[in-house]
């Protein structure tokens, strides 16, 4: 597996390209991500969204059309892509595949799981491929996603933190903003955030 990352737009939102067996998975193509993605893929398979905020999905439509590949998004966040309810001006995109909670799929021979961690958004998910966990705006290095946006839920975020803390396995975490980390390194931080949400 090979992971490429490029922060995009004013919020420096991480766009990832994960290559497995010469297949490229584009994760969270944000503002102005198209050119970088086109220059860094050879066999694109799909666009995977961790959640529906504009800075993570801005280039969905353009890339999907240029590369003729489908969009996969957590079902509870599809309305953010399709309707732009926060009025941020993102080009509307319409996922071909609306992922169920904790759904596991096999895509081009690669196992992908959309782990359901709502709170930051209603459908916020962390995408697991192998030992890699693309956490979107759920977990960052030393922090978590905000829960004061429209459609956020502090209570659901607490539940999500408890859920991930129950996991026994470790993962390399590739967050939506900032540097990569590991779940084992974030456990204490996650526990402390339970007291501040």
pLDDT of residue 139: 98
pLDDT tens string 11-52: 999 999 999 999 999 999 999 999 999 999 999 999 999 999
pLDDT, residue 136, reads 98
Encode burial over 126-140: b for 16+ CB neighbours within 10 A, e otherwise.
bbbbeebbbbbbbbb
pTM over 0.95: yes
Between strands 23-27 and 13-20, the pairing is: antiparallel
Write down the pLDDT at residue 36: 98
Percent of the chain exceeding pLDDT 90 equals 98
pLDDT attached to residue 77 = 98
* Domains observed in the chain: 2-193 (3.60.15.10)
Average the pLDDT over 135-153 and give the result: 98
Of 3, 27, 23, 48, nearest in space to 176 by CA: 27
Residues 50-66 pLDDT 10s: 999 999 999 999 999 99
72 closest CA partner among 43, 51, 42: 51
**Token digits for 64?**
């999907």
Q: Return the ∠ at Cα 135 (arms to 162 and 192), rounded to 5°.
A: 40
What DSSP assignment string belongs to 113-181? EEEE--SSSTT-EEEEETTEEEEETSEETTEE----STT--HHHHHHHHHHHHT--S--EEEESSS--E
Q: Which long-range contacts (CB under 8 A, 24 or more apart) does 63-67 make?
A: 63/26, 63/29, 63/33, 63/34, 63/37, 63/38, 64/93, 66/34, 66/38, 67/38, 67/41
């Amino acid at each position: 597996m090979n992971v490429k990352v490029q922060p995009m737009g004013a919020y420096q939102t991480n766009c990832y390209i994960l290559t497995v067996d010469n297949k490229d998975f584009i994760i969270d193509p944000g503002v102005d991500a198209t050119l970088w993605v086109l220059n860094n893929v050879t066999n694109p398979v799909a666009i995977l969204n961790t959640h529906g905020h504009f800075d993570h999905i801005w280039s969905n439509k353009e890339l999907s059309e240029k590369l003729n590949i489908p969009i996969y998004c957590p079902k509870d966040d599809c309305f953010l892509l399709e309707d732009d309810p926060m009025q941020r001006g993102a080009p509307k995109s319409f996922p071909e595949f609306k992922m169920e909670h904790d759904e596991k799929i096999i895509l081009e021979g690669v196992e992908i799981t959309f782990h359901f961690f709502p709170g930051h958004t209603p459908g916020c998910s962390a995408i697991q491929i192998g030992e890699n966990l693309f956490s979107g705006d759920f977990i960052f290095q030393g922090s978590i996603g905000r829960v004061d946006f429209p459609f956020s839920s502090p209570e659901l975020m607490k539940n999500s933190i408890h859920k991930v803390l129950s996991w026994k396995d470790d993962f390399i975490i590739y967050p939506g903003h900032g540097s990569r980390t590991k779940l084992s390194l974030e456990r204490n931080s996650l526990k402390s955030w339970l007291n501040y949400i």
